[in-house]
Structure 1
């Protein structure tokens, strides 16, 4: 078994999905990872991605990024680069690239917070496809250092409830509710 499969399979084995939709998504994801030649390959219509909600725990704020392709405020994240096999590593790299925050760390730990299969619309270079998005929470101590990677992908710091209202994606709203519960736990 490859390192990529062991890492993701281990994460899925330790993760307990919440609700019927996520149970179905995790079941489909487990089957996909067990049978795919390369579960990270962007050349298949279903592939793994890693993403995260970035938080600033002292102020209980979350950082959202505008995703032009999805037309919504969402978490940071994306595809693994060649050789990357750990979704939290992907989320950390994408977080740094998309926000300029160099101090990101998994928070309160590196456990998976949500797994969701997300439809992605076609664009000029890719057909419509799906992501098995493995989601985490990352924290920064320097929220004012956040800088968007491009003018068409602005960033916004919001309270978790305000962030839920800002997004059009139901699965992101669910993720934000989970993050809000984590932020409410006394440190």
Structure 2
């Protein structure tokens, strides 16, 4: 199975956000290269909100290019077997935390956002990743900073897409 095939399967099984889910599926049908950055019409990305439920906190990265507090995430790479693997790889690379585990149940949310040309859209498939006990984060080259925030602090530092992702993650945890 290819990463494209996996993305289609994951999206077909995703039960929420039906209009956005259909837009993603239409994109993949129209663009066989729609998984990867060179696709000018946009491409899928995978992200992971790293959470520590035992301490009631989330780990956010201050994105180097955007200057915004965001979840870990990024582009699909040719060796990625699944969308879950993309999210887990990005979460691990950008947090520096080994042994992250994805929250069961597949993606938590989808988020489509505009990006500068030559590409036009990121179609983000968002997961949540649980940090192991005693996890020590380490800043990556892609970040200006990396910081844990209490759940109630996130709305004060991050945009609504991150807040929605956190709320959906917390709902799935309960």
TM-score > 0.5 by shorter chain: yes
Q: Is the 8 A contact 2:72 2:90 kept in 1?
A: yes
Query: Which of these residues, 64, 68, 71, is aligned with residue 68 of structure 1?
Result: 64
User: Is 1:79 matched with 2:75?
Assistant: yes
- The answer to whether the 8 Å contact 1:64/1:75 transfers is yes
- Tell me the equivalent position of 1:166: 157
RMSD over equivalenced CA pairs, Å: 1.9
The 2-side partners of 1:85 and 1:129 are apart by 25
Instruction: Name which of 29, 39, 44 aligns with 2:34.
Output: 39
Per the alignment, residue 12 of structure 2 pairs with 13
SS of 1:134 mapped into structure 2: strand
Count of paired positions: 173
Deviation digits for residues 107-134 of structure 1 (CA, Å, limit 9, x no counterpart): 2x15110011111235xxxx35211100
**1:13-42 Cα distance to aligned partner (Å, 9 max, x none):** 111224xxxx43222111011221222221
| 1:143 Cα deviation after fit | 5.2
CA distance in 1, matches of 2:119, 2:64: 15
- Of residues 96, 101, 105, the one that matches 1:100 is 96
TM-score, with normalisation over the residues of structure 1? 0.83
Q: Supply the distance in 1 between the matched residues of 2:44 and 2:148 (Cα, whole angstroms).
A: 27
**Partner of residue 59, structure 1:** 55
1:139 has 2:134 as partner:
no
The 1:161–1:15 alpha-carbon spacing in structure 2 relative to 1, beyond 3 Å, is same
Q: Any unmatched runs of 5+ in structure 1? A: none
The CA deviation at 1:151 is 8.1
Structure 1: 4+ residue segments shifted above 6 A: none
Equivalent residue in structure 1 for 2:19, among 16, 21, 24 = 24
Residues 157-180 of structure 1 deviation map (CA, whole Å, 9 limit, x = unaligned)? 11222112211x222221111123
CA positional deviation for 1:144: 4.5
TM-score by length of 2: 0.89
